[in-house]
Each structure stands twice: as structure tokens, then as C-alpha cells.
């Protein structure tokens, strides 16, 4: 691989790649640092990187650096890094020294959302375990993935014995085939419901004895597909436990809603996050291509945001971000997608929107920012727009998404170099 190929890989990697010296300064970093943390590359390379580490994590980070300086080892560790907006992101590092050149090569990944989702998942598991009702979590293929103590007790199995067993183990043998068909039908359109309303179902204990049960079903979406939470009630105790099941069902729905909220929402502004933006951009490219309609993209950047933060503090900067997000949300249609792209940059996906209408919206946004009565000082934004008109020669959706994003970004850059507080369309600058 020649130097050009290496630099191209280095700059375009979504992972945060860097080379540092042993004195605590970055020698080279790729643009992903700026995307994740919001700091400029100049900010990060002209200050010791310990300046950006959470004060509580500095001592441990120094220890890891000392290990790297004393041996030819590859280390993995985690710490928190301060973002330009004052928040902190959890980073997972893999680092290894190169003594010959007196440098450290490192890769960092932003695991903040993963840690948050892991915490919710653990709370979800604890909620099931603490339930006084027998509960099982079943994968859509019929495999039992989680049981609580009450379920193990009810069916007469030791803890963990039911894990990875087929759910049909718990129903009479003469209805196995019928149960499989009913389960397949349910998986086709899962919904919250009680399968036992109006009729009795039979469960089978480990000793082969059968007993009447009622089963409530709650589908939950996980990364590996839909799982179904089965609440199993011995009908003998139905009256006493009915109120508890209702409460538990609400708790499960709340936990599921929290999972979805964490996965899709920018915590500061309350609008869509970068993950949702990427998914929606690919989806809208495919949809507009199929409908043979135009698709436009706006990129919006708050002018001189770093200087605003430096002068008035990060809390004031956070208020600017939230206000701009609110202004953008008020200006768009219900089917447009507003997202925080990163740092002080926002993006709006505009389905069925040509260049003329995209530029009209850009100017309305710019006017609304001008008209806003800002508390501390005037705020302006720079905008860049790009439009795809279908059909295109390329047939790759990913390529078209990247093309639209690149063109809008170039238009935004053009607005900045023109003096900021500008709006530009890529078609007007590409010549």
C-alpha cells in the first residue's frame, strides 16, 4: 500500500485513528475525532490529549501510557473524553507502541450509546428476574433465552436448565405441532396480547404433570431480532396476580421505549441522532429512486460556534444548539428528517424536493435565525444544499447516499469560505 492509499484509508475510516508521541501529544489524527468530539483537529493536536480526558480518568490513562512506554504490548482500555459542547463520550481504546519511531498507534471507538443500552438491558433483565410472575424470553425461532426464578419453580426446573431449550418442551406433546403453527403465525405479526383469553391452555412441568395456564405475550425488538416475553400465570392464582402483571407490562413497555429513545435521539437537542440520519438517508435514496422523485439534503453549521463557547461557556453553547434544533424542526414538513449530524452541525433530508424548493427552505431557515432574538449575541448559520434527480447512472444506493452527502458538504464549505451566513447549492458551485 502506497502513502496515498494509507492516507486515504486513514482519513476515511469511521473509527478514530491516531498517532501520538510518548509526551502526550497527537502527531496525526483522522477526521473521525472531529466528528465524534466536535473539537477541530487543530484543537486536538495543539494541546496535550490528557486535557480532554475526564478528570476522574486521567490517573488510569497515565498508567496505561506508562505501560506502553515500558514494553512492546498492545493495550485495551476505556476512558471518557470531553466534547466541544461540554458533554463527555465514552471511548474504547486499542493502543500499541512503535519504539523504533517513538510513537504510539491507537484506535478509539465511541461506545457511549452501547454502554447506555447495556445499562438499560441489565435493568430489563433485573425487572424480569424480580417479577413475582413466571416469565420467559423466547427468540422468534422458539428457543428459550431467559427465565426467571418463578418460571423455573413453576415448571420444576433448576435455574438455567431451560436456556436454549425449545418452548414446546413446556406444552403437552400432543399439541406440539399446533403450538408451532400458532407461534409462526404470531411471529408474522407480533403484538401485545394474551393468548389464553377465553380458553384454557395446558403447561407441562418437568415431572410430566400438566396444569392450566394463561399466557401474556409482549414482543421486544433486540439487535438479533424479535424476542417475545411470555408471562405465565397458573390460573389458580390469576386473581391475586392480575394487577401485578399489568404493572409489569407497563414497565416492560417503558424499558423498550427507553431503548428506542437512546438508540435514535440526540440527548442534548432531542432530535434525531447521526445513526437515524444515516439510516434515513439510505432509505430515502431507495424510496425516491423507486418513485422517480428528487431528493435534497441540507447541511447547516452554526457560525463561529467555538468562539461562542469560549466566550460564554458550554452551557450557553448547549442552549444555542437546542434553539437551532427547535427552529429547524419548526420549518420542515412532517416527512422531512431533521438530525444533529455532529458537534454544531445539523442536517435535513428533504424527500420529493427539487433544488428550487430546497433553496427556498434554506433561505427561510436563514431568515428565522436572523429574526430570532438571541440573548447574548447574534447567531448566524451557514447552509449547503445538494439535490439528486432520478434516475441516476449509478445503481448503488450507498454510492448515491455518499454522493449527496459529499455534495451538500461541499456546498456548506463554499458558504463558509464566502464569509459564512450564506446558503449555497452544489450545482451553483461545481463549475
Model pLDDT, residue 215: 82
Q: What pLDDT is stored for residue 366 in this prediction?
A: 95
Q: How far apart are CA 167 and CA 176, in angstroms?
A: 9
- Taking 50 as the pLDDT cut, the residues of the chain under it are 1, 198, 239
Cis-peptide, bond into residue 391, ω within 30° of zero: yes
Q: Report the CATH number of the 116-264 domain.
A: 3.30.450.20
Question: What pLDDT, on a 0 to 100 scale, did the predictor assign at position 396?
Answer: 54
Q: Same fold for the domain at 116-264 and the one at 274-429?
A: no
Residue 284 has what pLDDT? 93
- Structure pTM? 0.44
The pLDDT assigned to 197 comes to 56
Q: In this structure, which CATH number among 3.40.50.300, 3.30.450.20, 2.40.50.140, 3.40.190.10 belongs to the domain 3-110?
A: 3.30.450.20
pLDDT by residue (tens digit) across 79-121? 999 999 998 989 988 988 888 888 888 899 988 877 666 555 6
pLDDT digits (tens, 9 = 90+) for 327-383: 999 999 999 999 999 899 999 999 999 999 999 999 999 999 999 999 888 999 999
CA distance 214 to 124: 23
Look up the CATH superfamily of 274-429. Answer: Reverse transcriptase/Diguanylate cyclase domain (3.30.70.270)
Domain range list for the chain? 3-110, 116-264, 274-429
Amino acid at each position: 500500500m502506497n502513502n496515498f492509499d494509507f492516507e486515504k484509508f486513514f482519513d476515511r475510516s469511521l473509527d478514530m485513528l491516531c498517532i501520538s508521541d510518548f509526551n502526550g501529544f497527537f502527531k496525526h489524527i483522522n477526521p473521525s475525532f472531529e466528528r465524534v468530539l466536535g473539537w477541530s483537529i487543530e484543537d486536538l493536536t495543539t494541546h496535550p490529549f490528557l486535557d480532554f480526558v475526564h478528570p476522574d480518568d486521567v490517573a488510569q490513562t497515565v498508567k496505561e501510557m506508562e505501560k506502553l512506554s515500558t514494553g512492546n504490548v498492545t493495550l485495551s482500555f476505556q476512558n471518557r473524553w470531553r466534547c466541544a459542547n461540554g458533554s463527555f463520550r465514552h471511548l474504547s481504546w486499542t493502543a500499541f507502541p512503535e519504539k523504533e519511531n517513538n510513537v504510539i498507534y491507537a484506535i478509539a471507538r465511541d461506545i457511549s450509546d452501547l454502554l447506555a443500552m447495556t445499562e438499560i438491558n441489565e435493568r430489563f433483565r433485573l425487572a424480569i428476574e424480580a417479577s413475582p410472575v413466571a416469565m420467559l424470553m423466547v427468540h422468534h425461532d422458539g428457543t428459550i433465552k431467559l427465565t426467571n426464578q418463578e418460571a423455573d419453580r413453576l415448571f420444576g426446573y433448576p435455574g438455567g436448565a431451560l436456556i436454549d431449550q425449545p418452548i414446546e418442551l413446556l406444552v403437552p406433546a400432543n399439541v406440539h405441532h399446533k403450538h408451532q403453527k400458532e407461534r409462526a403465525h404470531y411471529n408474522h405479526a407480533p403484538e401485545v396480547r394474551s393468548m389464553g383469553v377465553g380458553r384454557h391452555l395446558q403447561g407441562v412441568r418437568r415431572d410430566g404433570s400438566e396444569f392450566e395456564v394463561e399466557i401474556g405475550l409482549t414482543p421486544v425488538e433486540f439487535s438479533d431480532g424479535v424476542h417475545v416475553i411470555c408471562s405465565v400465570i397458573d390460573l389458580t392464582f390469576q386473581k391475586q396476580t392480575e394487577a401485578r402483571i399489568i404493572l409489569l407490562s407497563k414497565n416492560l413497555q417503558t424499558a423498550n421505549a427507553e431503548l428506542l429513545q437512546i438508540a435514535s435521539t440526540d440527548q442534548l437537542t432531542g432530535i434525531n441522532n447521526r445513526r437515524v440520519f444515516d439510516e434515513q438517508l439510505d432509505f430515502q435514496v431507495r424510496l425516491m429512486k423507486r418513485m422517480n422523485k428528487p431528493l435534497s439534503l441540507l447541511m447547516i453549521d452554526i457560525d463561529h460556534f467555538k468562539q461562542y463557547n469560549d466566550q460564554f461557556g458550554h452551557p450557553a453553547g448547549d442552549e444555542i444548539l437546542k434553539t437551532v434544533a427547535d427552529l429547524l424542526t419548526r420549518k420542515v414538513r412532517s416527512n422531512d428528517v431533521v438530525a444533529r449530524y455532529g458537534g454544531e452541525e445539523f442536517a435535513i433530508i428533504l424527500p420529493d424536493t427539487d433544488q428550487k424548493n430546497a433553496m427556498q427552505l434554506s433561505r427561510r431557515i436563514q431568515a428565522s435565525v436572523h429574526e430570532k432574538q438571541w440573548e447574548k449575541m447574534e447567531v448566524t448559520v451557514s447552509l449547503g444544499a445538494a439535490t439528486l434527480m432520478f434516475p441516476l447512472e449509478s445503481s448503488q444506493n450507498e454510492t448515491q447516499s455518499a454522493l449527496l452527502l459529499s455534495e451538500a458538504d461541499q456546498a456548506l464549505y463554499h458558504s463558509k469560505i464566502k464569509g459564512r451566513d450564506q446558503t449555497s447549492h452544489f450545482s451553483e458551485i461545481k463549475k
